[in-house]
Structure 1
């Protein structure tokens, strides 16, 4: 049975498509971070859909020509951390550089020369990511060394001092993104390697700024090749999709599978897309492609069991990617009109 969706806001904002495509930049609770040009802008979700949306804060990018890292804004909004091609840098809202952590170049050729200009952007699409957990005390960064190996490092958010380093021996990243599970414990790192698959790591983030470092860093992939999609708004569980998009799963912090749903159960030739998340504590919204010309459809599932609640029925045709916000709503983007829309389950 179809599940009706109700439109609760729409806005035309250049660049807003990035809010529903690719890995999202980290933002404080109830906020969205959007990279537009040379700024990382922070919007309240409701305020974004005002007649003339204005960001609450805008952090100038330290390397204007580089826009491929996954950045993050501190939970209190006082600073942003940028994942650059050759450094991680924390920046205050007024543009002051607070600290910088240098690393190797994400360019695909190991040991290639640089001009010495910090604004130089080398070829290649490879990038890392940064993440600031809810307590705001540490910065977790996926970086590469000058001779090629990649590491997951923990930095003190006050001064950028490195407090821990974990080698990612099997990683040859094309990109990455990170989340924290609710409760301030586990930090998750998902590394995409293109055709070579996906790596997924978890670590205990407690106590890192005092130098104790992450404990229990573990490989959550177990050769299962799964992409991290979202974390639950309240419970310490997370959602993944298999790299070939056959099934969705909900996991406990240690990787234990709590629920799963095969795309084949929706019908012949169905496969999950790389877009799904927790619409709220009890509901997952996901995209399933069907191999037909009418494009992918959106589906609601029970967040505990992943039982299918039904396809989403919109008041007008909606296809493509989406982003769940965890507050009972989700976002879609219409490429033809460059319109961002916010939806809620009708009657909720």
Structure 2
């Protein structure tokens, strides 16, 4: 059944593609929603609700600590007083005025073990491998995926918990990963943190953890999974993953148990496309999922709405003529979702008609 999407807002936002096809969006348990967009040698931080209310200027503009470094997933504190940057050889906290607050040094993400460094902190070693970081929703902790060691004998990837006030390491979890890149997903309960690690053709690793002030408790879900952590239900009813190759979506309890599964619709020959990685919870009742626009399945491409608890399809979204809305989406959890038109540089916000089943 087709569902007619309703255009709620549209605004020009250069670089806004990183919101729907990257990790530039950050939401908080308290309701803050931000876009963290790189613009040259600066990170521009926008309040998403302010953008749609007409506030076009960024709320903060921070110099990138390492302008030549294009990797890492960065994070802003809930109150906007500082940002934390995931670098190639350090995690650095920077105040809203651009001043360095602290730095946590770690091993180099460059793929050659034991390769030399010139001593210049702006040096960028070859390779696209990177970690990520996330400030906790109470602003007290920084979770960071880092490399430790430099040589073959002491090389190790770790998930560390840092004190947000001074960068002091509070806990460390060694990881069995060889990373291409990673990202964090904060649970809306404000307690648990998820980490999804991509290893290219070698698969995906997924972890959940919590820090109670004295002890780090973690859940390694990788014996039964090769799945990307996508989103968490706004009502704490589970988390959503997509298969490494897009074969299906799964809804899980926090311990990893599978609650529901959805495969893309098959074509007339029984062949199935893959889900794209742009999906998530539109609200507590609805998931949006995407079949990418590929030559093999042109008639099946587009966005679907699914029931958030069963993952059964409710219908395929139809967009107004003249307003392209293909490719990845960013669901906001409030009944709306974002798409980005690369041709015009426009960020669009959509909703389904009221009363959609």
TM over 0.5: yes
Alpha-carbon deviation of 1:98?
0.7
Cα separation, 1, equivalents of 2:84 and 2:212: 20
Alpha-carbon deviation of 1:24?
3.5
Query: Does structure 1 residue 90 correspond to structure 2 residue 93?
Result: yes
Q: Deviations over 1:172-200 (max 9, x none)?
A: 00000011212122211100000110000
Provide the residue aligned with 1:102 in structure 2. 105
Q: CA separation of 1:93/1:27 partners in 2, compared to 1, >3 Å: closer, same or farther?
A: farther
Alpha-carbon deviation of 1:67?
2.2
Query: Does structure 1 residue 270 correspond to structure 2 residue 273?
Result: yes
Provide the residue aligned with 2:10 in structure 1. 10
Equivalent of 2:311, from 306, 313, 316? 306
Alpha-carbon deviation of 1:26?
3.4
Query: Does structure 1 residue 251 correspond to structure 2 residue 262?
Result: no
Cα separation, 2, equivalents of 1:172 and 1:318: 35
Provide the residue aligned with 2:126 in structure 1. 123
Of 189-198 and 17-26, more deviation after overlay is shown by 17-26
Residue correspondence of structure 1 range 174-185 to structure 2 within 5 A: 174-185=180-191
Provide the residue aligned with 1:165 in structure 2. 172
Cα separation, 2, equivalents of 1:177 and 1:234: 22
Cα separation, 2, equivalents of 1:300 and 1:237: 18
TM-score of the two chains, using structure 2 as the length reference: 0.91
In the alignment, is the contact (CA less than 8 A) between 1:25 and 1:70 conserved in 2? no
Q: CA separation of 1:194/1:102 partners in 2, compared to 1, >3 Å: closer, same or farther?
A: same
Provide the residue aligned with 1:132 in structure 2. 135
Cα separation, 2, equivalents of 1:109 and 1:223: 31
**Where in structure 1 are there 5+ consecutive unaligned residues?**
none
Q: CA separation of 1:279/1:142 partners in 2, compared to 1, >3 Å: closer, same or farther?
A: same
In the alignment, is the contact (CA less than 8 A) between 1:39 and 1:61 conserved in 2? yes
Residue correspondence of structure 1 range 226-237 to structure 2 within 5 A: 226-235=227-236, 237=238
Cα separation, 1, equivalents of 2:108 and 2:180: 13
TM-score of the two chains, using structure 1 as the length reference: 0.93
Provide the residue aligned with 1:19 in structure 2. 19
Query: Does structure 1 residue 74 correspond to structure 2 residue 77?
Result: yes
Q: CA separation of 1:196/1:80 partners in 2, compared to 1, >3 Å: closer, same or farther?
A: same
Q: SS at 1:320's partner residue?
A: coil
Cα separation, 1, equivalents of 2:139 and 2:266: 42
In the alignment, is the contact (CA less than 8 A) between 1:181 and 1:237 conserved in 2? no
Alpha-carbon deviation of 1:236?
5.0
Equivalent of 2:49, from 42, 46, 49? 46
Cα separation, 2, equivalents of 1:288 and 1:345: 18
Residue correspondence of structure 1 range 324-339 to structure 2 within 5 A: 324-339=331-346
Equivalent of 1:213, from 212, 215, 240? 215
Alpha-carbon deviation of 1:21?
0.7
In the alignment, is the contact (CA less than 8 A) between 2:7 and 2:349 conserved in 1? yes
The size of the alignment, in residue pairs, is 342
Query: Does structure 1 residue 195 correspond to structure 2 residue 205?
Result: no
Equivalent of 2:64, from 41, 58, 61? 61
In the alignment, is the contact (CA less than 8 A) between 2:25 and 2:34 conserved in 1? no
Cα separation, 2, equivalents of 1:7 and 1:59: 32
Q: SS at 2:277's partner residue?
A: strand
Alpha-carbon deviation of 1:294?
6.1
Q: Deviations over 1:86-136 (max 9, x none)?
A: 000001110111110000111111111111111111111100000112111
**Where in structure 2 are there 5+ consecutive unaligned residues?**
none
Cα separation, 1, equivalents of 2:237 and 2:62: 30
Of 278-287 and 25-34, more deviation after overlay is shown by 25-34
Q: Deviations over 1:114-161 (max 9, x none)?
A: 111111111111000001121111101000012331000000011000
In the alignment, is the contact (CA less than 8 A) between 1:88 and 1:102 conserved in 2? yes
